[in-house]
Amino acid sequence: MDNKMKKDSLLKSSLWISLSGILSRILSVVYIIPWNIWIGPVAVGAANALYGKVYNIYNLFLIIATAGIPSAISKEVAAHNALGRYDQSEKLFKKYTIYMSLVGIVLALIMFFGAKYVAIVLAAGDMRVVTPIKYLSIAMLIIPALGILRGYIQGYAFISYSAFSQVIEQIARVAYMLYATYTIMILQKGNYMSAVNQSTLASFIGATLAYLFLLWIRIRVRRSITVTDIKTTADIPTDANIPEINFSSMLRSAIPFLLVDTIMTVLQLFDQTTFTWIYELILHASQKTIDDLYAMFGFQANKLIMILVSLAISVSASVIPALSAMISRKVGTEQIQKLMRNIVQFTLFIILPATFGMIAISRQLWTVFVFYDQSIIGSKVLMVSCLEAFFYCVFLILENVLQVSHHVKKSLIYLVIAYLIKVVLQLPLTLAMGVYGPLAASTIAFMITGHFAFRLINKQFNIVDKELGKSLFKIFIDGLIMLVVVVIADFLVVKVISDATKIGATIVIIICGLIGVAVYGFLSYKDGSLKILKEIRDTKIY
């Protein structure tokens, strides 16, 4: 085995996290097909709504448990390693593994013994979520330590291994979910509540396997550092930006990441409580209507758009250590400017066609992953969700760039503005637009705050110029042409192949997907947009 492990480049790390993120998201979407079939059409709305509510609550606890520290660890470890201070990276890792494990234990106890009160506060008093929350509390014992280990590995620029651990986690989770659901619903003829309970336990199993894998990688990472790599304080240039190692420094670094990571989860929790209240108290809808509508935008469409979000996370996870290392080394403004322009182009190049593609085949996606009889309204919900996801992705990346370029206060102000816009628009838009209202409110919030964030970044780095404008315009036109071509292809293919069945809809998705990739690939090759991959291929993280 080669002792000297090769660090990932910016392109390689982005591609790895993109692929693992997409694969993980696809797995988390694909399992819905058999899961929904085994749950059955009668209980599927209630089961999806319940599962969605429970996981929104769980995600909030997850974010509190990790407290943004994995991203902060990644940033700090990259900064220390860029200066050869590997011993300090080890101190960080050990110290915060102990700290975060204790936090996980405390939160697990709160979830288990306080599940009833959590249901009252975060699920509009829906007591069906109590037992699943107790099952999920077990996962809190391992996940904070897993987050620290992931941040540590990413900080060493071995991002591909961190990404692969997510695939392992998802495969194990989905395998157990499907096994448990099939056993309960088909073999034992049980009820959907038991299936949901066992499905939530799967998170612990997946996280444990991912943690064991990363422990093995950590051993390899340590062996790859030679004595000559390690520098003492005397070896470090006097003008180097050396991070402190203390709790307050780490917390200052972690809290902004925590708040950025939290926004989507908090907005989803806000949706699940306010949507229920609006439909119960003002519109006087039945529990079944509320479950079915909430399941559409809060679980089913949300699962599908998370594939788009994983793309943003992949770019973002690469940006944090790369920018942090550049700033620590105090490289020239031109280098950072070039990286920033590449990030903007790369982000749009990946996320825009993915968004347009999902919009073009939204009806078939709904048929495959949910049911055909809901596909007309479901596809419209998915289209609006895709727009929300696009602006969220842009917002997320911009916020993370602000964090590492010393605009923490401004990034937090933009977060507050986003929350305020959402709160103000939620009631009027839900009453006016129904199921689309919460999605529209979030989209507008991300659009406005994303605009502010980009203006600030541009003011500091002066990244917008004629060349960047041309590049982004070409990417947009390529994506738009692809959208039109795929919509026409979809219309024609459906004339020949019925999309009323899951198999038929899958065939239509495959055909239209291949056409979309071919058209976008050809156009971006012809007009030079594809060169962005070559541009960042050799960009080293540090």
Q: What angle do CA 80, 85, 90 make, to 5 degrees?
A: 85
pTM of the model: 0.74
Of 299, 305, 307, 365, nearest in space to 27 by CA: 307
Helices (H) and strands (E) in the chain, counts: 21, 0
C-alpha–C-alpha distance, residues 13 and 346, integer Å:
13
State which amino acid sits at residue 323: L
pLDDT digits (tens, 9 = 90+) for 114-144: 988 888 888 777 788 888 889 888 988 998 8
pLDDT digits (tens, 9 = 90+) for 420-434: 999 999 999 999 998
C-alpha–C-alpha distance, residues 338 and 341, integer Å:
5
What is the per-residue pLDDT for 158?
Answer: 75
C-alpha–C-alpha distance, residues 57 and 286, integer Å:
23
Q: Are 370 and 36 in contact (CB under 8 A)?
A: yes
Q: Are 201 and 138 in contact (CB under 8 A)?
A: yes
Q: Are 508 and 490 in contact (CB under 8 A)?
A: yes
Question: What are the percentages of helix, strand and coil residues in the chain, rounded to 5?
Answer: 85, 0, 15
**HSE-CB for 15 with a 13 A CA cutoff:** 11
Contacts of 253 (CB under 8 A, 6+ apart): 72, 75, 76
Q: Is the model's pLDDT at 538 over the cut of 60?
A: no
Q: Are 195 and 47 in contact (CB under 8 A)?
A: yes
Q: Which two tokens stand for residue 375?
A: 């596909």
C-alpha–C-alpha distance, residues 502 and 367, integer Å:
6
Q: What angle do CA 17, 407, 10 make, to 5 degrees?
A: 25
Q: Give per-residue burial for 185-220: e unless 16+ CB within 10 Å, then b.
A: beeeeeebbbbbbbbbbbbbbbbbbbbebbeebbee
Residues paired with 217 in a beta bridge: none
CA separation, residue 301 to residues 294, 306, 499 (Å): 10, 9, 19
C-alpha–C-alpha distance, residues 48 and 374, integer Å:
14
State which amino acid sits at residue 241: N
Lowest mean pLDDT across 146-150, 338-342, 437-441: 338-342
Query: How long is the chain?
Result: 542
pLDDT digits (tens, 9 = 90+) for 279-338: 888 888 888 888 888 888 887 788 778 777 776 666 666 666 666 667 666 667 777 788
pLDDT digits (tens, 9 = 90+) for 341-355: 888 888 888 889 989
C-alpha–C-alpha distance, residues 140 and 204, integer Å:
8
